[in-house]
Chain A
Amino acid sequence: MKTQKNKTLYWLQSGGCSGDSMSILNLNSPDLFSFFSMLSIDVLWHPSLSTITYTEHDQMLEEIVAGERKLDILCVEGNVVMGPDGSGMFDTFRGKPKKDLLQQLAQVADVVVAVGTCASFGGFGSYEGDDIAGIGLQQHHNTQGGFLGKDFHSKKGLQVINLPGCPIHPKALESVLNLVARNLPVELGANNTPKCYYAPTVHQGCTRNEHHEYKVEENMFGEEGCMFFHLGCKGPTTHASCNTHLWNDVNSKTRAGVPCFGCTNTTFPHPSPFFETPTIAGTPLHLPEGVDRAYYLAYKDMAAEAAPQRLKKREE
């Protein structure tokens, strides 16, 4: 494999649940540790995995911030905690707001990666009235800027690479590090997310697509119909590869009867109820991306009439 000399990676956890770290540990073939070693990625620090002492860690941070030690990849997990009152004191490291450390590290890193929805767009604790006043690294919900500002570019001239997901799918991180380690460009799409993972919708590849096609709707848990019309499924309006690269290599939420909550979306966790589809005149308010409402609804009504008995049977 054509990689240059070792790349260094520093993993910073801020306002989060460690779920992204737990998720990437599920990477398989190769496993996460083999993956790092194959790509010659030298993990300088991961708070859940590293064993260097706190004094060595202090020293390492000093050297990185002073530019004496190369930092190729900065991964940030969790949102930037600004509360209370902009002080950041709800999340501290060595008695100082962690956001200050993040600011310093972002200035010296070649590539900055926001791991998970909290780091990308704010996520949990990012709505008005939420105590921690969390924001994303370079985006807050739909607005560019976030903590680092919309003009921020890393040392390599790149904006923050957003890898949303609650948690991140291990393949999303794998695909980006695969490119970075090989010094290949990472093509970004909407909201600075890499196209290689976020181009498809969650709907694509869902095993309940046929039910969606014929508008065989699920009204309650435990059935096998489509959850888009009543149970709040956001699969058709959410970009991620959940149903093309399966979770834990075997399944996805929608295949298991759990609606897609749109966890890669910029406004996750949106305030409207997760298990309900917002409707307008009895039809879903948000339709699959790009469809014409009138045509779509006419088509769905006809499709429901044409639905095969074997799909409808479960309604008996």
Chain B
Amino acid sequence: MAKKITLNVPLNRVEGDLDINVTIEDGVIVEAKSIGTLYRGFENILQGRVALDSLVVTPRICGICSVTHLCAAVDALENAQNITPPAQAVRLRNLSLLSETIQSDIRQFFLMFMGDFTNEFYQDAPFYQEATHHYEPFKGASSKEALKKTTEILKVVAIIGGQWPHTSHIVPGGISTLPSLLELTVAQNHIEEIISWYEQNVLGCSLEAFSKIESVESFMYHLEENAETDIARFTRYAEYAQLFKIGKTSQNFLSYGTVHNPLNPSERLIKAGVIIEGKFEELDVSKIYEDISHSWYKQVNVKQKPFDGVTHPDMKSEDGYTWAKAPRYAKKVMQTGPLAQALVNGDKLLTSLNDKYGDCAYVRELARILRPAIHLKYARQDIQGAIESFGDMSYNQAVEEFSGEGVGLVEAARGALGHWVRVKHGKIENYQIITPTAWNGSPQDLEGNRGAWENALIGLECRDIKNPMEMGHVVRSFDPCLVCTVHAIDMQDSKQKYKFKIGL
């Protein structure tokens, strides 16, 4: 008879609290449920406040992508009021968001992903000592250096916006400040410093040279020639850990696109779109809805459009197992994040890697640490543009009381982030947020489709249930952020007191 066990595994090195409930049969995962265990009720906090307060409240949803939430909040308000920010503000916003995302990609790779290879699970691996030297938590030489570099890139956000995290310098109509020419040139130096470190240590060549590597073969050749780079080490470890084979979920990808064209802000230079079963389509926001059939809500109106959701918390709901809802795009489970961004944008190298190896844990994580190669080029371009346009205005709109609704779609470090806001006489009537981790870490839907990383876990071999390293690799390759996700809940009837019985 098959040996079957079910257990709850709390996962660390993710942002926030995540449990994975897995059923393992003969060492193989046969069922997986992703459980967001912390609920924070942010939409309730927003309701009734003046519209601009979303610029202060929503960044506090997430400590690692606070500028991203700020951008989404401002986008939603500008969308509702039909405001176009001036070019200089667009450059400074791009720089703020790019810097935060570069920081996040680097911290996730070095501090949250590579540390796994220094775990005793790999003590017999040929790379164990090398990995420990470079990536041991708190001590590894490369990780320490990477941490320092992230503090440098964040200085760019601080120069433009005052501090990181949790500033509110991006406002409807522009930006709150005019950095001096001295400050802008200092920011440029910080960007060049990061580029130089990233080229030498992570890539092993210049950004320009790297952009010419378009096939799997030339990429692997590059790694052989540059064996002492972080991407080469990661690839060696990944091969040993079989990350090329595990973690596949589907070929459905969603990206909202990023980096606005300063001269035409509605254009995104890294384009938005979806890939469904391998085929590119233009993004159609109206196809997004949330399914609550397996979430802790009263089961009325199981499929909800972002603006019209009605939600009654109910931990007794029969099939519920998480506070997260399940966003779907035209009934499809989508994955989002750096790999989706690259594929939707037609990145040649990642497309060929995905063609060859699929959306495995290796390719998904690799896409993250390769993304700065693209983003740093845009940062370089925008800071140069900001310096050349120094003196141009960066704010063009007085804030007035208004009524209306708007959507803010932003590409966060972890993927597609949407804010839906409805304002009445200057006050927030309703606020709905769908985060990247809601897409990636969603529960099942009514049709029985599992969420993206739930599905990626099915069939995974789990050699040591006391130290389920394979699970960690797979889920961390999505870069989960639960602090964002489990309060992306529309609390229209929030004044209701909960009477349900607790008992999981």
Residues of chain A having any CB pair with chain B under 8 Å: 13, 15-23, 25-28, 31-34, 36-37, 43, 47-55, 57, 81, 83-85, 87, 89-95, 124-125, 127, 129-132, 166-167, 220-222, 224, 242, 247-258, 261, 263, 269, 271, 273-276
Our pick among A28, A85, A127, A257 for the contact of B177 (Cβ within 8 Å) is A257
Given known contacts A51-B116, A248-B158, what 12 new A-B pairs fall within 8 Å (CB)?
Answer: A25-B150, A32-B147, A54-B11, A84-B497, A124-B45, A124-B60, A222-B175, A253-B162, A256-B158, A256-B176, A257-B176, A269-B57
Which residues in chain B, 466-504, are within 8 Å of chain A measured between CB atoms? 466-467, 483, 491, 494-495, 497-500, 502, 504
With A57-B12, A95-B504, A253-B163: A89-B315 Cβ-Cβ less than 8 Å: yes
Output the least CB separation between B338 and chain A (Å): 19
Contact pattern, B 40-67, Cβ under 8 Å of A = 1, otherwise 0: 1110110001101101110011111010
With A18-B62, A247-B164: A125-B41 Cβ-Cβ less than 8 Å: yes
Q: Which residues of A contact B8 (CB under 8 A)?
A: 94-95
Q: Is the CB of A31 within 8 A of B13?
A: no
Q: Is the CB of A130 within 8 A of B45?
A: yes
Q: Write the chain A residue with the least CB distance to B15.
A: A18
Q: Is the CB of B161 within 8 A of A256?
A: yes
Size of interface on B: residues with Cβ below 8 Å to A: 90
Q: What separation, in Å, do the CA atoms of A250 and B158 have in the docked complex?
A: 7
Q: What separation, in Å, do the CA atoms of A255 and B150 have in the docked complex?
A: 22
Q: Is the CB of A51 within 8 A of B13?
A: yes
Report if B231 contacts A (CB, 8 A). no
Residues of chain B having any CB pair with chain A under 8 Å: 8-17, 37-42, 44-45, 49-50, 52-53, 55-57, 60-64, 66, 107, 111-112, 115-116, 118-119, 137-139, 143-144, 147-148, 150-151, 154-155, 157-169, 171, 173-179, 186, 313, 315, 393-395, 398-399, 466-467, 483, 491, 494-495, 497-500, 502, 504
What are 18 A-B interface contacts by the 8 Å CB criterion? Answer: A17-B63, A18-B483, A25-B151, A48-B111, A90-B39, A92-B17, A93-B17, A129-B494, A130-B44, A132-B39, A221-B395, A222-B394, A247-B162, A256-B179, A257-B176, A273-B53, A274-B53, A275-B55
Q: Which 5 A-B pairs have the closest CB atoms?
A: A19-B63, A222-B395, A131-B41, A247-B163, A256-B162
Output the least CB separation between B409 and chain A (Å): 21
Q: What separation, in Å, do the CA atoms of A16 and B494 have in the docked complex?
A: 20
Output the least CB separation between A117 and chain B (Å): 10
Q: What separation, in Å, do the CA atoms of A85 and B501 have in the docked complex?
A: 10
Q: Which residues of B contact A251 (CB under 8 A)?
A: 158-159, 161-163
Q: What separation, in Å, do the CA atoms of A49 and B146 have in the docked complex?
A: 14
Q: Which residues of B contact A129 (CB under 8 A)?
A: 44, 494-495
Output the least CB separation between B29 and chain A (Å): 16
